């Protein structure tokens, strides 16, 4: 039996590829477990600084495997939540590289990523209401924050999909590229992020993930909390030294 998730290390980047093409990369318990293990790996290995999550040319992800759901199988993993990655994502940036369909939980999987790169042929949608279902993998609260209440209502209540150009216009996609180039562009973006100071990236990411729901007072308190380890870090001293000495920094993540 083949593994449902392929992984490949490229420098400081981990490329994760959903590999269930016969069901458009729909997520069953085995794939959810594999995603949870990948999240653990990203948190445990300091050499991995960014992850790219991809599907194939036909489909990024069609969401929950309904046959598995009909058998009563869970696609939630203890400690990591829905799909093994959406409840508690790893502490490194996640970039979705979307080609083909990102429907239902597949769209919700992109919402759990920090950045989304999509090929021009990609399609996004929440068809759950057409099947008597509820979007339950994060769309109900993440989608309005991402694209606004009205657009989220249009997607959620009609079940009608949108093309990649519309998704980019609405802010669901961060970067639109020619069809077939999403993975390459996502990897290039990941390498650009991975070249920066790891601790600074991690703390900035943590702040940006939390900060959108905070008022100013709580935001200032969070900023002070996240800044403290940066001010005491070796990477800060290295960054300043590299700037003054006109050389590339040598980051240690400490």
Q: Mind listing the pLDDT tens digit for each residue in 74-119?
A: 899 999 999 999 999 999 999 999 999 999 999 999 999 999 999 9
- Is 175 a known active-site residue? no
Its pTM stands at 0.92
- pLDDT score for 133: 87
What is the pLDDT averaged over residues 32-37?
A: 98
- Average pLDDT rounded to a whole number, residues 208-232: 83
CATH number of 198-244: 1.10.12
Question: Coil, strand or helix: which one is 158?
Answer: helix
Mean pLDDT taken over the chain: 93
Q: Is the pLDDT of residue 222 over 80?
A: no
Query: What's the CATH superfamily of 5-194?
Result: 2-enoyl-CoA Hydratase; Chain A, domain 1 (3.90.226.10)
User: What's the token pair of residue 232?
Assistant: 């005491």
Higher pLDDT, residue 58 or 240: 58
For 61, the token pair is 């992800």
* Residue written as token pair 């593994």: 3
Between the alpha carbon of residue 41 and those of residues 183, 192, 194, 235, the distances in Å are 21, 21, 16, 23
Write down the number of H helices and E strands in the chain: 10, 12
234 is known as an active-site residue: no
Of the candidates 73, 146, 139, 141, the one whose C-alpha atom is nearest the C-alpha of residue 106 is 139
- Residue 137: burial class (beta carbons within 10 Å; 0-12, 13-18, 19+): buried
Residues forming beta bridges with residue 68, ordered by sequence position = none
* Angle of the 216-231 helix axis to the 234-244 helix axis, nearest 10: 80
Instruction: Specify which residues 116 forms β-bridges with.
Output: 96
Rg for the chain, CA atoms, rounded: 19
* Averaged pLDDT, 175-183: 98
From the list 108, 120, 234, 238, the catalytic residue is 108
Strand, coil or helix: 181: coil
Of 8, 128, 238, 245, the active-site residue reads 128
* pLDDT on residue 21: 95
Q: Is the pLDDT assigned to residue 32 strictly greater than 70? A: yes
* Confidence at 1, pLDDT banded by 50, 70, 90: low
The domain locations on the chain are: 5-194, 198-244
């Amino acid at each position: 039996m083949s593994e449902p998730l392929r992984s490949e290390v490229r420098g400081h980047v981990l490329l994760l590829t959903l590999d269930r093409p016969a069901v458009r990369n729909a997520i069953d318990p085995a794939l959810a477990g594999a995603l949870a293990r990948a999240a653990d790996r990203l948190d445990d290995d300091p050499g991995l600084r960014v992850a790219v999550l991809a599907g194939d040319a036909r489909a990024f992800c069609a969401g929950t495997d309904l046959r598995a759901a009909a058998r009563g199988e869970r696609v939630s993993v203890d400690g990591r939540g829905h799909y093994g990655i959406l409840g508690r994502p790893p502490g490194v940036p996640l970039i979705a590289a979307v080609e083909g369909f990102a429907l239902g939980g597949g769209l919700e999987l992109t919402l759990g990523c920090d950045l989304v790169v999509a090929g021009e042929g990609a399609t996004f949608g929440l068809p759950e209401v057409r099947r008597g279902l509820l979007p339950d993998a994060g769309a109900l609260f993440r989608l309005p924050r991402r694209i606004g209440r009205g657009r989220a209502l249009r997607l959620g209540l009609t079940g009608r999909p949108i093309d990649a150009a519309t998704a980019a216009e609405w802010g669901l996609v961060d970067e639109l590229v020619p069809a077939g180039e999403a993975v390459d562009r996502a990897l290039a973006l990941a390498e650009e992020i991975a070249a920066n100071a790891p601790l600074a990236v991690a703390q900035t990411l943590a702040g940006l993930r939390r900060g959108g729901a905070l008022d100013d007072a709580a935001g200032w308190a969070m900023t002070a909390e996240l800044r403290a380890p940066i001010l005491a870090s070796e990477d800060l001293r290295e960054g300043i030294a590299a700037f003054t000495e006109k050389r590339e920094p040598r980051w240690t993540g400490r």
